Structure 1
Amino acid sequence: MTGARITVDYDAKALDAALSQAVAALDNPIDLMDAIGAVIEEAIDRRFDTASDASGSAWAASLRARQGERGGKTLTDTGRLRASISRAVSGSDVAVGTNVEYAAIHHFGGEIERPARTQVLAFNDAGRFQSRKDSRARRDGVQPIAIATIGATTITMPARPFLEIDTVAEADIADVVQDFLRKSLNT
């Protein structure tokens, strides 16, 4: 061979031992999966803080947010959805999500069909709507004065993707994996 040459010698036993340690650590990666799940939960929490999807596009503001009601933040009426985000680790898998029944319609968007219904209406002395339920109106000392028939309606809910990870989370996950492998090689 002419020109330049580099020769690399390595200790095959040391390399084999190090790789064996890494493989052994990956045989039971529950701690790794838990750490990755924590990073994903943090990324989802950022979705609620920024009211945007993973690409940074703002969610369509909810009516309450536009009117400044109940804190004025989209998807945070009661905080139940945000608080429900959790992770489940088993073996080499981690799942991050929510069991809240209305999560899917908020994440993916879609149409909500409400059937026609009859409703009791009550108004207070000032002429303001008091209650939709007969029992509540009576408890508040206001008697129902009308029964209204409300026609069927369809509400279009815009998608507000919150179960996403962004580039920050992707980098954090890579760091978690590197740290895990580094620690498994140093033990």
Structure 2
Amino acid sequence: MAVRIVASGLEEAAKVIAQIADPDVPQYLDELGGIVTSQTQKRIRSEKTSPAGEAWKPNREGTSILFRSGALDDSIHHEVAGNSVEVGSNLVYAGIHQHGGKIVPKNKNALAFSSGGQFFMAKSVTMPARPYVGISAANEPEIIAFTEAFISAGAGDAR
């Protein structure tokens, strides 16, 4: 007595398995970087909280925090390097806003600046940290959904 097993659809299953096993990592990272860039810009434009959900300390002028000219928001970008993606800004002042710190004069005895229409001179200024780059708990579902769609759609047709 002979037993014959006929299986159909294995070619499609093999394609799905191959896509999961060998995804287009650079494309995935590039698209993921675009999502995190967009989430970071939303945080700067309207959310005004750190990735941990903490409200940013108000500024002296009472204006939109981290969005006076829009330059920081416009500078947010991502770069794929190998098996990682980095999101951030290349503006010289981006780091002091993310991490906070003390600003001291380099070539003079005091810092000179205006704020709220008033002129100030100070030996130093301490900037509070206002973290804007990072992934919040509210961002995670979008990233997970994108990742699942990327894998299930054939590693490249998720969008």
Same-fold call, TM > 0.5? Answer: yes
* 2:58 aligned partner: 61
% same residue: 26
Please, what is the CA RMSD of the aligned residues?
Answer: 2.7
Residue 81 (structure 1) aligned to one of 66, 72, 97: 72
Residue 97 (structure 1) aligned to one of 84, 88, 91: 88
Question: Is residue 155 from structure 1 mapped to residue 125 from structure 2 by the alignment?
Answer: yes
Structure of higher CA gyration radius: 1
* 1:143 aligned partner: none
Amino acid at match of 1:23: A
- Under a length normalisation based on structure 2, what TM-score does the superposition of the two structures give? 0.74
Give unpaired runs (5+ residues) of structure 1: 1-10, 66-71, 120-128, 132-149
Amino acid at match of 1:180: F
Total equivalences in the alignment = 138
Q: Secondary structure at the match of 2:151?
A: helix
Amino acid at match of 1:20: A
Distance 1:31 1:62, change over 3 A: same
Q: Secondary structure at the match of 2:92?
A: coil
Amino acid at match of 1:165: I
Q: Secondary structure at the match of 2:67?
A: coil
Residue pair 2:43, 2:49 contacting (<8 A) in 1 also? yes
Distance 1:178 1:158, change over 3 A: same
Q: Give the C-alpha shift of residue 17 in structure 1.
A: 4.9
* 1:41 aligned partner: 37
Residue 29 (structure 1) aligned to one of 6, 25, 32: 25
Q: Secondary structure at the match of 1:184?
A: coil
Give unpaired runs (5+ residues) of structure 2: 1-6, 113-117
Amino acid at match of 2:88: G
Residues 113-171 of structure 1 show CA distances to partners (whole Å, capped at 9, x for unaligned) of 1241599xxxxxxxxx9x9xxxxxxxxxxxxxxxxxx6x61111100001121122211
Residues 5-37 of structure 1 show CA distances to partners (whole Å, capped at 9, x for unaligned) of xxxxxx7x945553223223x2x3222112211
Q: Give the C-alpha shift of residue 61 in structure 1.
A: 0.9
In structure 2, C-alpha distance between the alignment counterparts of 1:43 and 1:97, rounded to whole Å? 12
Amino acid at match of 1:105: I
Distance 1:107 1:117, change over 3 A: closer
